[in-house]
Amino acid sequence: MKIKRSEIWTVNLDPTIGAEIKKIRPVVVVSSDAVGALPIRLVAPITEWKDYFNHNVWHVKLVPERMNGLSKVSAVDTLQLRGVDTQRFVQKLGKVSPEIMKSITAAIAFASISQTPSFFFRFQNRG
């Protein structure tokens, strides 16, 4: 099974603990295609969009379209990154555009290293 960066897949995220995102749900693959010999991919889970996410720089909005295979407005939650074995991958839904992938990468960078929102907004276009 070929699983590549920027693809959206449904993945079985159970079992979980506490506030971790649960169940079978869509994710965006964020790990590089060139990294790793193990059958593990770094993913960012996708959840239903909430209006208050507009104020969270770690949520990247996804609008349903043919390319991504989503059925409702959603958000990539870059605070819930997780390494998962490829055996957890269920079905490929689609992929995100290079522009959206750039926004996801910027949100990950902000969530993990930045102390100021200005860093993030140089890289993200929230359109």
> What's the pLDDT tens digit per position in 60-79?
999 999 999 999 999 999 99
- Full-model pTM: 0.84
Rg of the chain over CA atoms, in angstroms?
A: 14
pLDDT tens for the chain, 127 residues long, are 799 999 999 999 888 777 767 789 999 999 998 877 789 999 999 999 999 999 898 999 999 999 999 999 999 999 999 999 999 999 999 999 999 999 999 999 887 775 555 555 555 545 4
- In the chain, count of helices (H) and strands (E)? 2, 7
Q: Apex CA 112: angle with CA 111 and CA 114, to 5°?
A: 75
